[in-house]
Amino acid sequence: MAPHRRLTAVLMGESDAFRALLVDVLLDLRVELELHESGTVHPDLVFAIVRQGDVFGVLELAKRAAFGAPIVAVMALGDERMAQRAALAGAHVICALDGPLDNLRHAFLGVLARQPLQRARAG
């Protein structure tokens, strides 16, 4: 089954373990993922991998790379204080990888439904 959409994204923060999971989840949603380095494209979505102690720094970098695109803060473990910090720092969606993958899929679908892909405008 071929993907319906192509998503241009940037990953901020340490992301080695997350990259493969992200690609798999989006393929399940029939979205092909193109990952780019920060500053090389105007992305459709920015993923900010946040950890205790680096939430504000990573999200500040993510905002600079986003060019107005939604930012998804991703954390390894559900932590209410870290989630609050991520929201205060500008994340549009916050996902914890220790929860069901359906939560992650649902978050991606919500962001994609609200935000038309910017690829057509950046053209």
Question: Could you read off the pLDDT of 58-107 as tens digits, one per residue?
Answer: 999 999 999 888 898 988 888 899 999 999 999 988 888 787 777 677 77
Here the tokens at position 101 are: 């993958």
Neighbours of 73 (CB within 10 A): 28
- What local confidence, expressed as pLDDT, does residue 116 receive? 53
Residue 1 pLDDT > 60, yes or no? Answer: no
Question: Are 49 and 11 contacting, i.e. CB atoms less than 8 angstroms apart?
Answer: yes
- Beta bridge partners, 8, equal 34
Ordered domains of the chain (ranges, CATH) = 5-115 (3.40.50.2300)
Here the tokens at position 98 are: 């220790």
pTM above 0.75, yes or no: yes
- What local confidence, expressed as pLDDT, does residue 121 receive? 33
- What local confidence, expressed as pLDDT, does residue 37 receive? 73
41 three-state secondary structure: coil
